[in-house]
Structure 1
């Protein structure tokens, strides 16, 4: 059975997925890598789009829209005495030298870049990255320095972005394998409760396919930039429910005597 057929059936048919417990481990591992790749596609799309837009609009923002500023000794210093919110096409610029705004305030703006009193913040597709100015140590940074840096990014972006996402993909895949391993252990408990014969290795194969429905759902939500309240709980609940229904489709163990 090819991977596309397994993918489709893993979206709706616990009965078919139950048969995958005899699948080769190599095919199962490959399936996990494919599913993990699909799960980060929205992140790749939104981040790449935001990065390209940010570079194009960066020069205008730092040279025209923002007041002159200096980052030194871990602080953002400027004559501006109140926060500035500058909406752009696909990103919002938050400039706050007062210390009134936090990382959470920047995150609430959606895809955004924040120059706060002590930190530089990037929010892309709900993911937050914070860089403290103190990491610059004794360096002094001004508007012009950032403009020069943006110009240098144009030449390396299409090299750096794939490398960044390669490491991100490997990280997400590692988390996926850990999650599946945990689900396989829970699957063993399901099997005992349901009086089904299921080894851990077989349970791992079933768990790998049982995460498909939830993964695709959250991938689509990410593409639509739609947050899901209690997302992790829903993810685990749906995956474990599918795994439970799958194990229930396995024939019961025959009683001896």
Structure 2
């Protein structure tokens, strides 16, 4: 059985191995996606905490009110951020999987959407880590998204090369 750490390392260093992971169970792939979601959620929640503390000191009238409901605000924000991150990441993976199926057709490779979805779930690792980095260095969201998309599609193209060829008739 493949460990999540091995999936992480291979998705960063060995994009061609991602084609072999298309045969993983969907449960293992979704576990990996939820680990990425946890990393993103923890990072974005820490940004939220630092942003709230700054805004509390800038707006004096709300300081007392925020302190009164702080016990409710933080768990609600964390849950909301996790839900939104989950939805966003699953939609991104699905879109990249569709692009990957188009790449398979263009390269005359054999594969199904479900296989490419698993490959895209692993290929999105670089994009996820770079999104966190770009958020730290405050790169614009549109440029960050464009760079993430290019890198993910490039990794999908590299892994598509290792999919089996369609036999000639």
Common fold: TM-score over 0.5: yes
Structure 2 residue aligned with 1:173, among 81, 86, 93?
86
* Structure 1: runs of 5 or more not aligned: 63-146
Q: CA deviation at 1:195?
A: 1.6
TM-score, normalised via structure 1 length? 0.60
The total of aligned residue pairs comes to 167
* Residue 239, structure 1, aligned to residue 152, structure 2: yes
* Residue 39, structure 1, aligned to residue 1, structure 2: no
Give the greater-gyration-radius structure (CA): 1
In 1: Cα distance, 2:90 partner to 2:63 partner: 37
In 2: Cα distance, 1:243 partner to 1:39 partner: 21
Residue 13 of structure 2 aligns to a residue in which SS? coil
Equivalent in the alignment of 1:17:
18
Taking the TM superposition and a 5 Å limit, the aligned residue runs for 1:82-93 are none
Equivalent in the alignment of 1:28:
29
Q: CA deviation at 1:53?
A: 4.0
In 2: Cα distance, 1:158 partner to 1:27 partner: 35
Residue 12 of structure 2 aligns to a residue in which SS? coil
Q: Which structure: greater strand fraction?
A: 1
Q: CA deviation at 1:172?
A: 1.8
Higher relative CO (Cα under 8 Å, sequence separation at least 6) belongs to 2
Divergent runs of 4+, >6 A: none
Q: Contact (CA 8 Å) 1:14, 1:242: kept in 2 or not?
A: yes
In 2: Cα distance, 1:20 partner to 1:158 partner: 42
Taking the TM superposition and a 5 Å limit, the aligned residue runs for 1:246-257 are 246-256=159-169
Q: Deviations 1:46-92 (Å, cap 9, x if unpaired)?
A: 2102323443x25xx53xxxxxxxxxxxxxxxxxxxxxxxxxxxxxx
Q: Which structure: greater helix fraction?
A: 2
Equivalent in the alignment of 1:221:
134
* Structure 2: runs of 5 or more not aligned: none
Equivalent in the alignment of 2:9:
8
Q: Deviations 1:172-216 (Å, cap 9, x if unpaired)?
A: 211211111111111111111112110110011011111111110
In 2: Cα distance, 1:215 partner to 1:39 partner: 8
Equivalent in the alignment of 2:125:
212
Q: Contact (CA 8 Å) 2:45, 2:81: kept in 1 or not?
A: no
The structure-2 alpha-carbon separation of the partners of 1:53 and 1:186, relative to structure 1 and needing over 3 Å to count, comes to closer
Q: CA deviation at 1:164?
A: 1.3
Q: CA deviation at 1:252?
A: 2.0
Residue 11 of structure 1 aligns to a residue in which SS? helix
Equivalent in the alignment of 1:107:
none
